[in-house]
Structure 1
Amino acid sequence: MGRTVTVDVDVCIGCEACVEECPDVFSMGPGDLAQVTNPDGADEKCIESAMEMCPVNCITWEE
């Protein structure tokens, strides 16, 4: 079993940087906070780029 990307909504500020960087994986959900809608929607490079863009580091890998 591999790892999957997650968003900590308790930390997310709703800046939409991840959605702009990797829209096939992330979208804005309840409370205008980011959520993972399709963890397999893009390659790891795109997801890691979204992680780097996040100003509060709320996107992580979960084993």
Structure 2
Amino acid sequence: MKRTANPLPLKVNGENLFGPDAFEPVERKVAGWIEDLLNPDKEITLAPDPKSCTYCPFKVACDRE
């Protein structure tokens, strides 16, 4: 079988290209989000501080390019 394309590297210098929790199971992420929403003591930030974020999954809500 002929291979037509190389797979994309998933890590560069030991860092995941898709963020620190990119390969965490979806069920665990959703459960964490629900737990955060139901916890009245948890402070929820909708958009990270654009000056301090290095990886930002909220590109739409962030002022940083």
More contact order relative to length (CA 8 Å, sep ≥ 6): 1
More strand by share: 1
Q: TM-score, normalised by structure 1?
A: 0.20
Q: TM-score, normalised by structure 2?
A: 0.20
When Rg is computed on C-alpha atoms for both structures, the one with the higher figure is 2
